[in-house]
Amino acid sequence: MKVLLVQPPQFGKPGFNKIALVEPLGLEMVAGALLPDHEVRIHDMRIDDNLDKALAAFRPDAVGISCSFTIDVYRSQKIAETARTAGVPFIFVGGLHASLNPPDFQQPEIDCIVVGEGEFASRELLAAVTKGGDLGDVPGIVLNTDAGQVFTGPRPQADLNELPFPARELLPHGRRHRYFFNFWKPLATLETARGCPHRCNFCSVWTFFEGRCRTKDPERVADELERRKEKFVLITDDNFLLSVNRAKKIAEVIKERGIKKRYSFQARSDTIVKHPEVIAQWREIGLSHVFIGFESLDQEELKAVNKKNDVETNEKALEIVHSHDLTVTGAFIINQDYGPNEFKRLREYIASRRISLPQFTVLTPLPGTDLFREIEKKISVKNYELYDFLHSVLPTRLDPSEFYREFAGLYKSAYSNVNIFRTRIIPVIMGLATRRLSLMHLRRIIRAAREFGEGKNYLSGKAANNPGNAS
């Protein structure tokens, strides 16, 4: 069977995809599971949006669509319609949002939804399609039938060490060099674990993985790393240090094998404070960047999102990471109740704490999360295109124009041209000198930073249906 796996396009001004575009690792994982029995191609519409051409050239028997983000729902639906019009007989959808919200894909063009992890479920699903078997016998599937949607039952979660290696070789020649994280280019991604033991109410990850955590053995992690030629590696785990002992062992194996790369991972501040030695160990083997979800400067706000952490711990973690001369992305959630004083306080905090790559997102109740269920009645915007963490789907205390002006001001003060290069001038120069970076990419990052810093960009185009003021 010929199978085309499709990553939906991303667009919008501003948009996080303009400062970070990572390979479609989920589809690469699914492809790795399908390859022994099927001819598989991956089409990333973020790089090439000409789906009609890809369908005509390959003429697939099945199309699989990745819908992990809420903003991808309408685009995924459109892909299914395009594929069916092109004569594709079997179409399925998977991914985080699709798994938590199957009714969003109850349409005639879509045959079924893969719920949960897609590697082995997709393999069994397409085996049944090929043999003309009963799809109802495949666990972990929601079937679209004339009588409605039918769930085939839960699927046991897999041992991550038994997963096939990602089929990265399926990316069209040259496109592996299109993925980046700011000035890290070309970029590879690596998954070493799934799940998180914590229960932040805004997070859909722990819900998707049914509250369980599983990890790959250090040797398996090193095996995957050795397959990658890229210098820069973004570890995609939502909580890389969920097992500190395992993280230490991974570092030991990497050092023993002589693997030389630069790494970025995400960790909680409380773990960093309890185990500063693991940061030092990883710094020695190439750790350059750490993503930490600080979320808020206010303890009550941390409590409201069930963070189970405190501001003081965040401060201590920042000091530890800075002591190792690491770049930090400190993530902050902007509450709809913010006024000028709260925005000013955050701007001043970022500057005083030297957080080099701050990230600001608007509090967003993603469908399927605890937060969504808690405040669903307050949500005033149903348009999924606005669930991009840059627009409010809840009423704001300030007038929308003022709210977004203040929100944009956070980015403008943090990512002025001077601030962009202040801590990254040497890596940028080296990247240009070695032709790893181009002037075109440099201009792209600068242009994206400017877009984030202009309030009018949040009120134009798809933001036209802004929820307005709180009553």
Taking each helix axis from N to C end, the angle separating 311-323 and 276-285, rounded to the nearest 10 degrees, works out to 30
3-state secondary structure of 13: coil
How far, in Å, CA of 409 to CA of 113, rounded?
A: 41
> How many structural domains does the chain have?
2
Same domain, 17 and 103: yes
Last residue of a domain, one of 119, 151, 183: 151
pTM more than 0.75: yes
> Per-residue pLDDT for 255 more than 70?
yes
- CATH number of 130's domain: 3.40.50.2300
How far, in Å, CA of 450 to CA of 412, rounded?
A: 7
pLDDT tens-digit series, residues 372-408: 999 999 999 999 999 999 999 999 999 999 999 999 9
Residue 71: which domain range? 2-151
Same domain, 132 and 192: no
How far, in Å, CA of 346 to CA of 201, rounded?
A: 22
In a domain, 177, yes or no: yes
Same domain, 177 and 95: no
Last residue of a domain, one of 87, 119, 151: 151
> Per-residue pLDDT for 271 more than 80?
yes
Question: Per-residue pLDDT averaged across 93-98, rounded?
Answer: 98
How far, in Å, CA of 126 to CA of 112, rounded?
A: 11
Beta-ladder partners of 93? 65, 113
Residue 177 is predicted with a pLDDT of 82
In a domain, 159, yes or no: no
* Nearest alpha carbon to residue 192 among 166, 211, 169, 231: 166
Same domain, 238 and 145: no
Q: Which residues contact 160 (CB under 8 A, 6 or more apart)?
A: 193, 194, 214, 215, 216, 220
Same domain, 98 and 196: no
How far, in Å, CA of 83 to CA of 219, rounded?
A: 40
In a domain, 183, yes or no: yes
How far, in Å, CA of 61 to CA of 97, rounded?
A: 24
- CATH number of 388's domain: 3.80.30.20
Q: Within its chain, how far is the Cα of 400 from the centroid?
A: 27
Same domain, 250 and 382: yes
Same domain, 95 and 203: no
In the chain the first and final C-alpha atoms are separated, in Å, by 56
Q: Of 256-260, 412-416, 431-435, which one has max mean pLDDT?
A: 256-260
- DSSP percent split of the chain into helix, strand, coil, nearest 5: 45, 15, 40
Same domain, 144 and 193: no
Rg (CA), the chain: 22
Same domain, 338 and 278: yes
In a domain, 81, yes or no: yes
Alpha helices in 268-383 (DSSP H): 269-274, 276-285, 299-304, 311-323, 340-352, 370-375
The region, left, alpha or beta by phi > 0 then psi within -120 to 50, assigned to residue 461 is: left
Question: Per-residue pLDDT averaged across 272-289, rounded?
Answer: 98
In a domain, 210, yes or no: yes
In a domain, 383, yes or no: yes
> Is 406:342 a contact under the CB 8 Å cutoff?
no
Last residue of a domain, one of 89, 120, 151: 151
> Is 376:365 a contact under the CB 8 Å cutoff?
yes
In a domain, 164, yes or no: no
In a domain, 359, yes or no: yes
Q: What is the DSSP string of 105-171?
A: G-STT--EEE-S--HHHHHHHHHHHHHT--GGGSSSEEEEETTEEEE----PPPPGGGSPPP-GGGS
> Per-residue pLDDT for 371 more than 80?
yes
Residue 180 is predicted with a pLDDT of 93
Same domain, 88 and 195: no
- pLDDT bracket for residue 466 (50, 70, 90): very low
Same domain, 213 and 246: yes
